Structure 1
Amino acid sequence: MLGRETPPPTKRALKFGVDLPSPQNGPSENISPIKSLNPYQNNWTIKGCVTNKRKMHKYNTPKRNGQVFSFDIIDEEGCEIRITSFDEIAELHYHQIEQGASYVLSKGTVKDVNKVYNKLNNQLEIILTETSVLKRCALDAVGPDKKTRFTPTDELLTTTNNTLIDVIGVVVNVGEISVIRRKDGSVVNKRIVKINDMSTLTIDVNLWGPSSEQLGNDLKNMHTSGTFVILVVQNARVGCFNGKVINASASIAFEINPSIPEAEPLRLRGPIQQSLDPHPSALHCKNNQYQRMSIASILQCLSVMPEAIETTITTVLRFIKEDPFYYTACPLQFNGKECKKKCAKLAENLWSCPRCQTQFPECNYKYLLQMKLQDHTGTIWANAFDNIGTKLFSLSTKELYMLQYDLTTEKTPHIILKKAMFKHYTFATLVSTDTFNSERRIKVTIDKMQRLDFKAESTCLLAEIAQMHAVT
C-alpha cells in the first residue's frame, strides 16, 4: 500500500525452514492461539515456551527404520501442544531446541493426536515438515508456569494400564541391569528402580534400553553413596507385572533432585526405613497394591472393564489337579539367573532347552498348579507356580515328585495335595482375560499366599461393615 515502508528483507530460512537467530524479538508476527489450530488450516503461526523436551530415540517398523523426537510447548493462554519430527528433520532440530526457551513456529502438519502416546490436554499435535519455520524468540516468559500434576503412587492401584502419568518419589532401591528377551527374539536391558512418595507406598519404575544404563548408573552410584535422591518421571506408562509398575523408556523425561515445590515435602520428610517385602499380614492392608474382592465381584468387573485386576481373595482351596502338578524346567543359567524354561526329553538322561539351545543330562521340576478356589459368592480356577507350591506343601517340586517312587514312606503326592485342600487361604492374584478360539477366558495367577489370619480378616470385615453403616 502507498505510504507504507517496505520492511527490510528477512533472513532466509536454513534447510528445512529452520531459522534460529540470536535471541531477539523479530518483526511482529500474526500469532495465533494454539487452541485455534485445526487440521484444515495451513496458514498459521504459533508462539510458545518449551515445557518438555524428550530424548531422541530410534524406531523400527516393517516399512522403515528411523528416529523421532518431540517436545511440548505452552502459549500465553496456557494451551499446550506436542510437536514431533522424524529422521533428518529430527536430527536437525534436536540440538537446537532448549527446554524453557520460547519459539515461533509456522507451517507444519496438524493432525489428530493418538492418546495412547500423548496425554496432553489437546486433541491435536504438529508434525514438522521440510517447509516448517522454527525461530527462537526473546527469552521472556511466553506462557504461564506449567504445574505438573503428579500421580500419587497409591492412586496407581486403580489406574488403568497403559495410562501415561507423571510421578515423583524418593529412590529407595536401585537394582542391577538384567537382559530381557522379547517375543521376536531381540533382547533389551532392564533395571528396576523402587520409589515412594508421601503415601509411602513403594512402586517399581522399570527403566528400559539406554535409560537403564545411563540414568540407571547415575541413580545407582548416588544411592550407593548414601545421597538422598528424588526422581521425577514424566509421561511414563502404567503397566502390570506382579502388581502395578511404571514403565519408562529412553524417550521419557527424567529429572533428578528437581527444584520444584512438589519435591519439598519429600525433602522435609527425608528417607524412610521401609521393608520392600510386605509383612505376612500385608495382604489385608489398605496400602497394599492388591484390593480385596469377592469372586463374583471379579467376574462382574472383568465383564465391563477387561483390564488386569490385582486383588486379594479370601477363599477355601477346594481342589488341586494332580496330573500334572509340575513341569520339567531347564536348570541352566540364563542372563545371570535360572532359566526355568520348559525343556523336552530327547532320550534317557538327555534333555534340551529351546531358549538356551543346550542339552543336559538332568532337568529340574517346577510347580505348575491348577487350583479351584471358592468363596461365598462363587468359584474360580487359578494357576500357581513354584513359589506358591513350595509354600503351600512345604516341599520342593522335586521332593514331592520323588515321593511317588519312595516305597519307604506312606506319603504320596496325592496325600500331600489333598491335605492342603478345604482350608482357608488369602491369595494375592492377578486376574486378566484372553481370547482362545474366539472365546473369552478368565486367567487367574496367584502371586502371593498365606493361611487365613482370622484376626486380621475379622478386622477388615468389621471395617467394611462400619463403612456400610456410615454410607447409609
Structure 2
Amino acid sequence: MSHQLTAGIFKRLFETDELDDTLLESRPTVQFLSYKKVATGGTTNNVDRYRIIVSDGEQFLQAMLSTQLNYLIEENHIAKHTIAIVDKFACNMVQGKRLLIVLGLTVLEKTADKVGEPTALQAPPSARSGAESASPAPEASASAISAPTPAPAPAPAPAPAPAHAPTPQQSVQRQGSRGSRGSAIYPIESLSPYMNNWTIKALVTQKSGIRKWSNDRGEGKLFSVVFVDDTGEIKATAFNQAADDLHARLQEGKVYLVSKGRVGLAKKKFNNVVNEYELTLERTTEVEECRDVVNVPTVKYNFVDIAGLQNVEKDAICDIIAVIKETGPMGEITTKSSNRTITKRELTLVDRSGYSVRLTLWGAQAEQWNAGDEHPVVAFKGVKVGDFQGRSLSMSMSSSMQLNPDIPDAHLLRGWYDGGGAEQSYQSHANNSGSGGSGLAFKREEVLPVQEVKEQGFGEPDKGEIFSSRATIMHVRPENLTYPACPTCHKKVIEAHDGWRCEKCNMSHEKPQYRYIITAAVADWSGQAWFQGFNEMGQVIFGMSGDELMEIKERSDTEMQNVLSRVIGSTYNFVCRAKQDNYNDNVRTRYGVSRIEPPNYAEEGNYIANLLRSEWAQ
C-alpha cells in the first residue's frame, strides 16, 4: 500500500465546536468505498448529484460530491476503493448526521485494496440531541440526503484513467475562511434548507428592478439577484421591506458577504438558475460589500451555438454567445391581456455555425441598449427559446448579458468575425408559412414528387395539406421580391411625410425593414409547381437580408441579375402547406413554404444505405 490514509481526521473534524484553519487546510487522504447517483427531490434541472461513502481507515461517513466534480465519476476517474486527497471541502450537520461536501480532490490511486475496517462515524451528542428536538424537516432533496447511511456497496469497475484527475482551475473559498464578522464562509454548493447559520461570499451577476405584485392574499413588491462563487450560483429574492432595504445596496459586479437568509427549494417556474435551492433575503439579512477582492468569481455559461437551437425545445432556457450583426430600432407593442404598452428592440445575432437568430430585448433592456462598438460580442445567459417564424430568442427579467466578455469564446468570435465572418451570408432557422408553420419538420421518408402532390389533390377540403418535397429552383419571379415592413410587427408600412408609417403600431420609423415575399418555380423529376414563401425563404436562397438585396437592386441592375441567376439550379428540402383559394371565380391551389433547408447529404447517404439493407432491396 503506497498511500497512507489520514487516520482519525473525520473524528477530529466532527468533534470540534468550531473548525479552525489547520483542519480545513489539512488536505486529508481518504478512500472512496462507494458512490451512487441520487434523486434530486423532484426539481426540474438536469444536474446529477452523487452520494459517496468515504473512509479515513478508522471511520467512514456519508458525503456529497460537488456537481463541478461529477466528471470524475462520469469519466471513470474514480472507482471503488480509490484513494484521493480532498483538497477542498465543507462540513454540514444534516438531521443529526455529519455531511461532507467534497469541492476538490486529487486522485492518488484509482484501484487499491480496502484499508482497515472502518466503522460509521457517530454524530456528537450535542448534535444528536439538537436533531432529536428539532421539528420534522420537509422531504430532503439530493444534497440534503436524509436517508440512513448505507453500508458500502460495490461500485462498477470503470476503464483505467490517468492517476491524477484534474481539479477546478479557480480557487474555492474554503469554509474556514472568515468574514469581517468572524463567521465561517460556506460555498454556495454546500447550502441546503437544513442550515441556519451560514455566510456566503459571492458576486452579484444580475439584479432585477423592484416589481410590484398583487393577488388574492394581498400585494407587495420584490426584486431578485443571482449570486455566484467558484462552486455554483443561486438566486435570491427579497420581499417588501427587505426589498426596499437591500435593492440599492446590492449592485451587479460587486462581491458581498451575505448571511441570515433563508434557504428553500427553488421554484422552477420563476427560476432558471441551475441550483436545487434559492435564497429568501429577509429584514434580518446582513449584507456587507467586500473590497479589494482577489480571484473574483466569474459567470458560468453553458453555450449553445445558433445552429444548435433547432434541437432546443420551445420555451427552454439556454446561454448564447454571438456577434451582434444588426440592431433594430426601438418599437412598442400593446399586450392583449393588460392593454399595457411595452418597448422592445430586436437584435440579429450570428456565430461561427453560419446561422443567424433574432433576439428580443424588452422594457428597460431595450431602452438602455447601447452597444458602443458597432458589432460587439455579447454573452447572453438564461434567454428563452421561441419558435415564432423559426427559432427566436427572448430576454426576460432573469436573463443577463455581458458585452465583450474577457473569456476565450468571446476572443475566438471576435477574431473570426473580423477575419471574414462579417462578409459571409447566414442561414436562419426557417419557418416561413407566416401562419402557424411552427414545428413542421422535413421528413425524408415522406417526400412526395410534385406531380403526385397535384394528382392526390393536396389542398382540397378532404385532403391532407402538409407535405415534404425535394425540388430545384428553376425561376424566381423578380417583381415585388420584397416589401417595406415595420421593424416591430413586420406589417407593411407606407411612406409618409414623417417617415414610414405603421398603422398597426401607430408609429413612424425612419426607414423600413425590407422583408421577402417569394414566388418561385420549382421542379423535380416528375413535374413543376409554384412555391410561395416569406422572409426566411428569401434569406435561405439568397443568403442575405431583404435590406441587403434592396441595396444591390438600387445600386446596379446587372449585379441584381447576377444575384437572381445564382439561385437557379439550387436544390432544397421543402415542407409545404397546400391550400385552395378562389380568385376571380377561379379555384386554384397555393403551395406555401413552411420550412426550407439545404439537403443534408450525410443523412441522405445514410438513408439510402439503410434502404439498401432493408427488405425493400431484397
Q: Report whether the alignment pairs 1:257 with 2:432.
A: no
Distance of 1:461 and 1:309 partners within structure 2: 20
- Partner of 1:135, secondary structure, is strand
Question: CA contact under 8 A between 1:55 and 1:253: conserved in structure 2?
Answer: no
Q: Report whether the alignment pairs 1:403 with 2:533.
A: no
Structure 1 105/158 Cα, relative in aligned 2: closer, same or farther at 3 Å?
same
- The normalised TM-score by structure 1 is 0.56
Structure 1 469/66 Cα, relative in aligned 2: closer, same or farther at 3 Å?
farther
Structure 1 470/33 Cα, relative in aligned 2: closer, same or farther at 3 Å?
farther
Give the structure 1 partner of residue 439 of structure 2: 309
- Match among 311, 320, 323 for residue 459 of structure 2: 320
How big is each residue's C-alpha offset from its partner over 1:27-84, in whole Å with a ceiling of 9 and x where there is no partner? 421334434433344x2222222151223152544346654332222345x1322212
Structure 1 48/25 Cα, relative in aligned 2: closer, same or farther at 3 Å?
closer
- Match among 189, 201, 208 for residue 362 of structure 2: 208
How big is each residue's C-alpha offset from its partner over 1:422-462, in whole Å with a ceiling of 9 and x where there is no partner? xxx7x75xxxxxxxxxxxxxxxxxx3569xxxxx7695774
Q: Report whether the alignment pairs 1:193 with 2:344.
A: no
Q: Report whether the alignment pairs 1:242 with 2:389.
A: yes
- Match among 87, 96, 120 for residue 273 of structure 2: 120
- Match among 408, 422, 435 for residue 272 of structure 1: 422
Distance of 2:259 and 2:429 partners within structure 1: 47
The structure with the larger Rg is: 2
Which stretches in structure 1 are left out of the alignment for 5+ residues? 1-23, 279-287, 292-307, 324-332, 341-354, 358-383, 392-396, 405-411, 429-446, 451-455
- Match among 411, 420, 429 for residue 289 of structure 1: 429
RCO greater where, 1 or 2, for CA within 8 Å and sep 6 or more? 1
RMSD: 4.3
Give, in angstroms, the shift of residue 174 of structure 1. Answer: 1.5
Structure 1 142/257 Cα, relative in aligned 2: closer, same or farther at 3 Å?
closer
Question: CA contact under 8 A between 2:179 and 2:257: conserved in structure 1?
Answer: no
Give the structure 2 partner of residue 107 of structure 1: 260
Distance of 2:412 and 2:600 partners within structure 1: 36
Give, in angstroms, the shift of residue 228 of structure 1. Answer: 2.9
Which region of structure 1 is more displaced relative to structure 2, 93-102 or 121-130?
93-102
- Match among 73, 79, 96 for residue 232 of structure 2: 79
**5 Å matches for 1:30-429?**
30-41=184-195, 43-63=196-216, 67-75=221-229, 78-141=231-294, 145-184=298-337, 185-215=339-369, 218-219=370-371, 222=372, 227-269=374-416, 270=418, 271-275=421-425, 289=429, 309-313=439-443, 314-315=447-448, 316=453, 318-321=457-460, 338=491, 403-404=584-585, 412-413=586-587, 416-417=588-589
How big is each residue's C-alpha offset from its partner over 1:292-346, in whole Å with a ceiling of 9 and x where there is no partner? xxxxxxxxxxxxxxxx6352354436432479xxxxxxxxx99887599xxxxxx
Question: CA contact under 8 A between 1:46 and 1:106: conserved in structure 2?
Answer: yes
Give, in angstroms, the shift of residue 171 of structure 1. Answer: 0.7
Distance of 1:470 and 1:70 partners within structure 2: 58
How big is each residue's C-alpha offset from its partner over 1:106-141, in whole Å with a ceiling of 9 and x where there is no partner? 222221112243333320000111111122235334
How big is each residue's C-alpha offset from its partner over 1:374-406, in whole Å with a ceiling of 9 and x where there is no partner? xxxxxxxxxx99959xx9xxxxx9xx75512xx
Which stretches in structure 2 are left out of the alignment for 5+ residues? 1-177, 432-437, 463-485, 494-503, 507-530, 539-578
Give, in angstroms, the shift of residue 195 of structure 1. Answer: 0.5
Give, in angstroms, the shift of residue 169 of structure 1. Answer: 0.6
Give, in angstroms, the shift of residue 91 of structure 1. Answer: 3.5
How big is each residue's C-alpha offset from its partner over 1:192-224, in whole Å with a ceiling of 9 and x where there is no partner? 101012212101101122222221xx24xx57x
Distance of 1:229 and 1:174 partners within structure 2: 11
Give, in angstroms, the shift of residue 144 of structure 1. Answer: 5.2
Question: CA contact under 8 A between 2:382 and 2:398: conserved in structure 1?
Answer: no
- Partner of 2:607, secondary structure, is helix
How big is each residue's C-alpha offset from its partner over 1:201-251, in whole Å with a ceiling of 9 and x where there is no partner? 101101122222221xx24xx57xxx3311222221112211111111355
Q: Percent identity?
A: 22
Distance of 1:58 and 1:272 partners within structure 2: 40
Give, in angstroms, the shift of residue 265 of structure 1. Answer: 0.8
- The normalised TM-score by structure 2 is 0.44
